[in-house]
Structure 1
Amino acid sequence: MPTKTPSKNVPANSSRSNSAPDAIELLESDHREVEALFEKFESARNDATKRKIAEDVCNALAVHAQVEEEIFYPACREAGVDSDLMNEAAVEHASAKELIAQILGGSGDEMWEAKVIVLSEQIEHHVEEEEGEMFVKARKAGLDSAKLGQRMAARKAELQASVATSPSKPAASPRATKAK
């Protein structure tokens, strides 16, 4: 189960403004949100509540992954962030998406709860690698985190709006389903 960790790798002199969120801070905030949802799932006592929380987790992860795949990961690759690390992240996303599809499509699946727990473990590992390695390397590579953050925040809002109109189907586009 993911545990809450303080935001790491954010310089004290971060030049973030309200209109242009820092990309890495935005992603770390998403990580904390999903960790909190997994904790709520773990402490929920009835099936209906767990299913609603699981849907919320899946939708949040789908939006987060799509924003990373469309904007953040390509920028990291362009900046020269370790290609092995980026490839591993893409594979982890593909694996998570498969579990997300199974969780959202498995209303009668007796293993759906186990799938949510496995997803939480996979996401915990993924978050540790992103925050402990990828984000550090992205900052060192000189990624324009403010500019990326603005683009990412706009795309995230767009995807969240699409999820709000069709909550049982996470945001997905052809660009999001292929590894970059």
Structure 2
Amino acid sequence: MKSPKKKAAARKPARRSGRGAGPDAVAMLKADHRKVEGLFKKAEKAKGGAKEKLVEQICNELIIHTMLEEEIFYPACRSEDVEEDKMDEAQVEHDGAKVMINDLMQSGASAPMYDAKVKVLSEYIKHHVKEEEQPRKGLFAEAKRKGVDMNALGARMKARKLELMREAEEEGLPRPEPKSIGAAPKSNGDGARADEADGGMGGRLRHFVQEAKRRHFSQSAKRALD
């Protein structure tokens, strides 16, 4: 029969990295994803001022989330040679969301196409989350395979998140600034056409706007028939 000490030793968890133990970075980011998904569901049913407050909360959550990824998580992934194309696409998707976030934060629930913009942002974020969380092929899975220290990142991200949350309460967060817009030279409109053709930010935004409109009209037609 094993002694109590030996039993305890057998249950001892694996040693964490000594570079700064903390919560798992991917677990933190996934928790943010689930929270925003829940807020979008509430906003879909809300109206007027209640919807504005929820959308403002969504925007602030997304601003903090993107700052944590761009300041801490993405640089760590790049330093461990996570696929460059995957990292660039993640940044472009962030920038597409920032354009919509800024637009929503400047308007209110009575603004033209406000509900449509909220819906498009929701669909856009769903796509981005899927790209990051996809098993085996997603950004998070590759980052783990490459040996990114999730506990060290989690500690840094937790501390930074607390700073940003205080900033949001006391003076408000800065408006998010897209980093990839204007990165490539354009001439005679060729850049815009190339952007749409190669799935860049312009093309992605158009795609999600069209998809959101299609779903909206389909749902409206179904309600009318019912």
Q: Once the 2 structures are TM-superposed, how far is the Cα of residue 14 of structure 1 from its aligned partner?
A: 9.9
Matched, 1:99 2:100: yes
TM-score, with structure 2 as normaliser: 0.67
Q: Which amino acid aligns with 1:85?
A: K
Identity %: 44
Structure 2 segments unaligned to the other structure (5+ residues): 1-13, 181-226
Q: In structure 2, what is the equivalent of residue 23 of structure 1?
A: 25
Query: For the Cα contact (< 8 Å) 1:162–1:171, is it kept in 2?
Result: no
Which sits farther off after the overlay, 19-28 or 135-144?
Answer: 19-28
Aligned ranges for residues 71-82 of structure 1 at < 5 Å? 71-82=72-83
Larger Rg: 2
Report Cα offsets for 1:88-108 as digits up to 9, x if no partner: 010000010010000000125
Aligned ranges for residues 114-129 of structure 1 at < 5 Å? 114-129=116-131
Report Cα offsets for 1:13-37 as digits up to 9, x if no partner: 7969xx7110000000000010010
Q: Distance in 1 between matches of 2:156 and 2:147?
A: 17
TM-score, with structure 1 as normaliser: 0.83
Q: In structure 2, what is the equivalent of residue 6 of structure 1?
A: none
Q: Distance in 2 between matches of 1:134 and 1:75?
A: 12
Q: Distance in 2 between matches of 1:14 and 1:52?
A: 43
Report Cα offsets for 1:136-159 as digits up to 9, x if no partner: 000000000000000011111111
Aligned with 1:80: secondary structure?
A: coil
Q: Which has the higher contact order (CA 8 A, sep 6+)?
A: 1
Structure 1 segments unaligned to the other structure (5+ residues): 1-12
RMSD across aligned C-alpha pairs, in angstroms?
2.1
Q: In structure 2, what is the equivalent of residue 34 of structure 1?
A: 36
